[in-house]
């Protein structure tokens, strides 16, 4: 008599069936990406640190809003319907004559004539919540600048009549992007220099260390002053100049990790199998030496932001009218009575640095098994 086959085992809904015996289990996923088990444990340790995790979420939200600054703070309408036609002043510069003006110059949408033309008679305009950008001057303050907060300028104006809130939003974006780019360039240069010295060792390491000692002894501030006087100040120039000095600290840690890892058994085995030096560095040593790189990265970003603010405060940073937190602090020093500039700028700068440092502390605990 034929026996009935046993029913297949049932698994909870949504749970994958276990891998057959001897099969390689699938790698876990984090945020949709397949990662190693160690990376998953680090991510879970980072998420359990609520202060660091929510600091990252808040910082990403603020960065996302600042990247859309033109939609939040803009002196030009985002969209205009005038006499049955649609215009996009936020993207295209239109002359006054397009809206019933008299001159072939770019329309000023704070001009009462233009504003009345695009908002009456069946016409309409969609404005940003803050109707000022970082360089538009309010000529109808009714009092000398800097002016205190009002219905038109929610956080007041600076000493030139420009909206403080708009300059804070745009300045936050520039500071964050500057810090991320500078930290990324310094990290890549530090990894490259430290990896070459630590892996090759010998005379390469000795000469590299002596060159770093000589280069680090140069007066960075004086060089910045001289080069700022010789060239037109700009953000790319500042990034290039600061990147020349921003990689040396990290290269020391990477060099030490490579000096330690190059004598491990798996590196010797890879060499015995004929694996090239570049493949050993990229596939075997570098992934195991990234802990100090990742944990120090947030602190490098905050250091770059504070450095940019300091240079702008000394009038050695980005040129005017580029929005900058350091420039607002410098104006606050010259206008002590303008409390709305000093308090708001100080709050934004401190909030930014604190959030980044909280993220760095959480990463440090997540990557150090002794602190989990």
317-354 pLDDT tens trace: 888 888 999 999 999 999 999 999 999 999 999 999 99
For residue 6, pLDDT beyond 60? no
- Are 96 and 185 members of one domain? no
- Residue 168 within any structural domain of the chain: yes
**Res. 14 pLDDT band, cuts 50 70 90:** very low
Instruction: Write out the two tokens for 35.
Output: 């990662």
The whole-number pLDDT of residue 156 equals 93
**Res. 190 pLDDT band, cuts 50 70 90:** very high
For residue 196, pLDDT beyond 60? yes
The whole-number pLDDT of residue 309 equals 93
The whole-number pLDDT of residue 154 equals 93
**Mean pLDDT of the 285-296 span:** 84
Provide the mean pLDDT of the chain. 86
- Are 207 and 301 members of one domain? yes
The whole-number pLDDT of residue 30 equals 67
The whole-number pLDDT of residue 350 equals 95
For residue 15, pLDDT beyond 50? no
- Are 297 and 355 members of one domain? yes
Instruction: Yes or no: say if 304 and 242 are a contact pair by the CB < 8 Å rule.
Output: yes
**pTM value surpassing 0.95:** no
- Cα(281)–Cα(263) distance, rounded to whole angstroms? 13
- Cα(73)–Cα(171) distance, rounded to whole angstroms? 12
Q: Say how many domains are in the chain.
A: 2
- Are 283 and 190 members of one domain? yes
- Are 230 and 339 members of one domain? yes
- Residue 15 within any structural domain of the chain: no
- Are 262 and 181 members of one domain? yes
At CA 167, angle to CA 161 and CA 168, rounded to 5? 130
> How many Å from the N-terminal Cα to the C-terminal Cα in the chain?
60
State which residues form the domain around 289: 164-371
- Residue 8 within any structural domain of the chain: no
- Residue 1 within any structural domain of the chain: no
Specify the CATH number for the domain of residue 200: 1.10.3720.10
Q: Which of 67, 102, 126 is the last residue of a domain?
A: 126
- Are 298 and 246 members of one domain? yes
- Are 103 and 175 members of one domain? no
Count Cβ neighbours within 10 Å for each residue of 4-43 and write b for 16 or more, e otherwise.
Answer: eeeeeeeeeeeeeeeeeeeeeeeeeeeeeeeeeeeeeebe
- Are 110 and 236 members of one domain? no
- Cα(155)–Cα(167) distance, rounded to whole angstroms? 10
- Residue 362 within any structural domain of the chain: yes
- Are 201 and 267 members of one domain? yes
Tell which residue, 269, 341, 249, 357, has the closest CA to residue 305: 357
Q: At what angle do helices 291-313 and 248-261 cross, to 10 degrees?
A: 170
Higher pLDDT, 165 or 277: 165
- Are 122 and 209 members of one domain? no
- Residue 153 within any structural domain of the chain: no
- Are 249 and 114 members of one domain? no
**Mean pLDDT of the 116-129 span:** 92
**Mean pLDDT of the 280-302 span:** 86
Q: Which residues are 286's β-sheet partners?
A: none
- Residue 210 within any structural domain of the chain: yes
Higher pLDDT, 25 or 300: 300
Neighbours of 124 (CB within 10 A): 13
- Residue 344 within any structural domain of the chain: yes
Phi, psi of 60 (to 5 degrees): -65, -35
């Amino acid at each position: 008599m034929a026996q009935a086959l046993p029913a297949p085992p049932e698994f909870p809904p949504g749970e994958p069936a276990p891998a057959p015996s001897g099969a390689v289990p699938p790698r876990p996923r984090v945020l949709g990406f397949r990662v190693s088990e160690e990376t998953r444990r680090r991510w879970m340790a980072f998420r359990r640190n609520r202060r660091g995790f929510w600091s990252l979420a808040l910082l990403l939200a603020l960065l996302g809003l600042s990247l859309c600054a033109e939609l939040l703070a803009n002196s030009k309408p985002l969209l205009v319907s005038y006499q049955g036609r649609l215009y996009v002043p936020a993207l295209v510069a239109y002359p006054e004559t397009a809206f019933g003006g008299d001159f072939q110059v770019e329309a000023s949408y704070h001009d009462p004539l233009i504003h009345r033309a695009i908002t009456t008679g069946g016409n309409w305009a969609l404005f940003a919540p803050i109707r000022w950008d970082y360089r538009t001057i309010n000529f109808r303050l009714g009092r000398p600048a800097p002016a205190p907060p009002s219905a038109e300028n929610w956080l007041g104006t600076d000493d030139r009549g420009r909206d403080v809130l708009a300059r804070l939003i745009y300045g936050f974006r520039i500071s964050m992007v500057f810090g991320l780019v500078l930290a990324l360039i310094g990290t890549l240069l530090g990894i490259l220099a430290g990896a070459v010295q630590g892996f090759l060792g010998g005379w390469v390491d000795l000469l590299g260390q002596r060159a770093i000692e000589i280069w680090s002894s140069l007066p960075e501030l004086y060089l910045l002053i001289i080069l700022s006087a010789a060239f037109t100040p700009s953000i790319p120039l500042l990034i290039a100049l600061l990147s020349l000095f921003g990689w040396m600290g990290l290269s020391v840690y990477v060099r030490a990790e490579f000096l330690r890892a190059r004598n491990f058994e798996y590196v010797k085995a890879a060499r015995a199998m004929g694996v090239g030096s570049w493949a050993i560095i990229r596939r075997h040593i570098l992934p195991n030496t990234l802990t100090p790189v990742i944990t120090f990265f947030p602190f490098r970003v905050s250091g770059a932001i504070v450095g940019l603010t300091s240079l702008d405060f000394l009038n050695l940073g980005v040129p005017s009218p580029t929005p900058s937190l350091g420039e607002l602090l410098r104006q606050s020093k010259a206008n002590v009575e303008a409390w709305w500039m000093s308090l708001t700028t100080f709050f934004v700068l401190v909030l930014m640095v604190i959030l980044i440092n909280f993220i760095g502390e959480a990463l440090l605990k997540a990557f150090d098994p002794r602190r989990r």
